[in-house]
Amino acid sequence: MIQGHPTSGAEAERDCPVPLTTLGAIYRADPEDLPDLLAKLPAPTRAKLAAYLYAKSHTHTLGLTVARTCEKDDLVKAAGEIGAVIHGQAHLPPTKPAAAAPAAPQTRKISLGGSAAKGRSFD
């Protein structure tokens, strides 16, 4: 099977539901432009695209974004039971970022020579 990154190579994977040019435009789209691009796709194609992107580690998050524009039934038709999982994950509330660990208290540097040793010679 020929694999191609959306922005490299001349041919998308055979199971990609959209042409390479469409995939590239979606992949590179700004978040505010993405809804308009996705609205141009028929619902079944959009659901297949969500499943396709979701299955790849580097486009997993984009797959969830596309899935948010899909009906659960369309995702299930496109991807079977995993479609229901994708739908559920796409509609989870956003996670809060982990709280930053408190800064460690500053410690003083300890010198083994000490200040009394300065200026003394050890003959």
| Entry pTM | 0.67
pLDDT of 115 over the 80 cut: no
pLDDT of 77 over the 80 cut: yes
pLDDT in tens, 23-47: 999 999 998 999 999 999 999 999 9
Confidence of residue 48 (pLDDT cuts 50, 70, 90): very high
What the block records as the tokens of 91 is 């509609």
* Better pLDDT: 74 or 110: 74
CA distances from 68 to 11, 65, 88, 121 (A): 27, 5, 9, 75
